[in-house]
Amino acid sequence: MEKRLAMIPLRDENPTHRPAIVTALLIATCLGIFLLVQPTASRTFDQPTTDELVDEIEFTYEYAAVPCELIENRPLTAHEITATQVIGDVNACVDTPDPSSFVPFPDKNIWLAVIVSMFLHGSWVHIAGNMIFLWIFGNNIEDRMGRVHFAVFYVMAGIVATLAHVAVQLDSTVPVVGASGAVAGVMGVYLVWFPRARVRTLLFITIIPIWPRIPAVVLLGVWFVSQFYIGNDSGVAWMAHVAGFIFGVLAGLAARNERLRP
């Protein structure tokens, strides 16, 4: 399914009543960090040198959330990072590491990293996909939910998504990056509040592109189901997507009957 079918939303036919300032700020923040702070952006289109690759790995482990760190309540040791990046052991978490083990980032705030991870991305494709979905679906949710509530909801969805990923990857020593979980939460609310909204979508069936107007309930429903076909071997935190989306659906259902500002 994921090899032969690809859907990229282009725009929705669902006008807003006020500018989506928070949504725009979230996108600007993610893009700014990716372009100006992360080492990833500068090497995406070129084969990275060894030094560039090391810089990227060090940056990610210093700032991103890692399931093992959250479960063990401590930063990773150099041995665990090396086992992951050099040997390929993605579950290199040690229950009781040697007290003399070297810890590269001893001052890392592992819980703050859960928030920071929501603004980090692994590649241009990663950030482009997330930001497209966030803009198309986020502006309507912000418009109806209100800016402050939307900002709080977005962060909460990201936290829930990350913790869900951790819950099924307890020993993982692979950093979690990306706004996908939070964006999935926004998509979940959109499904509940605007299921009939038409979304102009670039659809690839094998290599044939078409751009039909698809009801949001179909587009988002297919996206949600497709997450179960991704699997752990793809390197995608699919459980974070699923959990964020379900959180959004539940939040949308809980607030649907409230007198929110249209």
Average pLDDT over residues 199-216: 74
For residue 227, the enclosing domain spans: 5-255
Q: Is residue 262 part of a domain?
A: no
Q: What is the pLDDT of residues 89-133, one digit of tens each?
A: 999 999 888 888 899 999 999 999 999 999 999 888 899 999 999
Q: What average pLDDT is seen over the chain?
A: 88
Q: Amino acid identity of 31?
A: L
Query: Could you tell me the CATH number of the domain that includes residue 119?
Result: 1.20.1540.10
22 lies in some domain? yes
pTM: 0.89
Question: Does residue 211 or residue 60 have the better pLDDT?
Answer: 60
Which contacts qualify for 106-110: CB closer than 8 Å, 24 or more apart?
Answer: 106/75, 108/62, 108/63, 108/69, 108/75, 110/65, 110/66, 110/69, 110/70, 110/73, 110/74, 110/75
- Domain membership of residue 229 (yes or no) is yes
For 116, other C-beta atoms within 10 Å of its C-beta total 15
**pLDDT exceeds cutoff 80 at 7:** no
Spatial distance between the Cα atoms of 157 and 183, rounded to a whole number of angstroms: 8
Q: What is the pLDDT of residue 216?
A: 93
Residue 65: inside a domain, yes or no? yes
| More confident of the two residues 123 and 231 | 123
Whether 260 maps to a domain, the answer reads no
Q: Two tokens at 178?
A: 């990306």
- If you average pLDDT over residues 187-192, what whole number do you get? 97
